Amino acid sequence: MITLTKTAVRALVVAGAMAVTSVGAMASGDGGHKYEKQDWTFSGPFGKFDKAQLQRGFQIYREVCSSCHSLDYIAFRNLGQEGALGYTDDEVKAIAADYDIEDGPDSEGDMFTRPGKPFDHFPSPFPNVEAAAAANGGKAPPDLSLIAKARAASVGPDVGVEVFNDILRMIWHPVTAYQEYGPDYIYALLTSYEETPEELEETVGDKYYNPAFGSGVAIGMAPPLSDELVDYTDGTPMTTEQYAKDVTSFLMWAAEPKLEERKRVGVNALIFLVVFSFLMFFTKRKLWSKVKH
């Protein structure tokens, strides 16, 4: 059996950390772009969603994103659930009623449309994937329900390094461990549109230049946000950066609507385990205190 001293263990951990840091100090996507760490209210084990920000992000989705992108896994009733956007039941009903939902067949076998109800899911802007692709240059826009999780950036060239790096983060920074790579990617994508450099004009073609795009620099989606595009009524700055941050937070909620509940249960479980460990330790000492060795 191999026995390692504390010094040896510490040296191995430090060496591993240095190796991981050399691979990727910041989150990076498939294209090698560095994504700057953003300050999110939902970061860390005690993070929570900002309800006002979620409502603004939902407004951005409704007025800008919903014309092309679906939200298939979200029902209207989810907007009013605990840990969600803070809407009342009446507000949820009013939001749902603004949408036309295809239903049926009726008694004569025909499909019909009706106002949405809280149990309905957000309707897709296109009847099928083929129609979505035909309207968007041959490629259907992705569904945004899980985009904040699906677009998580990696920290290294393989899964092993990524897992090891996450473990190190939890060891050395258990309270400030940062795992919001997906939101960082979305925010970077929405705010990184630039004029196409002359040397890349042939590569980009009739698409748009965005160095933050994970699959390259040429993206088919036109810049969706611009200053003063959507009217805010709460005095929040109407800038591209603020819009991007708000809608990204909303998409993070859509991808993980139970985030606050999960963190609350996790913290309670950790507190229980700490208290239980102390009780077991003192119980062991009490039971074995009179035993002669």
Phi and psi dihedrals of 205, rounded to 5? 60, -130
Residue 251: HSE in the Cβ half-sphere, 13 Å Cα cutoff: 33
Which residue bears the tokens 């949820």?
92
Please write the tens of the pLDDT for every residue from 230-258.
Answer: 999 999 999 999 999 999 999 999 999 99
Strand partners, 219: 208
Give the residue among 116, 30, 106 at the shortest CA–CA distance from 71: 116
Tell whether the model's pLDDT for residue 29 goes beyond 80. no
Longest dimension (CA), the chain: 88
Tell whether the model's pLDDT for residue 7 goes beyond 80. no
Spatial contact of 138 and 2, defined as CB atoms under 8 Å apart: no
Looking at residues 192-212, what average pLDDT do you find?
Answer: 92
Which residue bears the tokens 């003192």?
282
DSSP string covering 167-220, please? HHHHHH-TTT----HHHHHHHHHHH--BPPPGGGHHHHTTSEE-TT-TT-SEES
Q: Between 97 and 35, where is the model more confident?
A: 97
Please write the tens of the pLDDT for every residue from 139-195.
Answer: 999 999 999 988 754 444 444 455 555 555 555 544 444 568 889 999 999 999 999
For residue 100, which amino acid is it? Answer: D
Spatial contact of 204 and 218, defined as CB atoms under 8 Å apart: yes
Residue 256: HSE in the Cβ half-sphere, 13 Å Cα cutoff: 19
Please write the tens of the pLDDT for every residue from 61-91.
Answer: 999 999 999 999 999 999 999 889 999 999 9
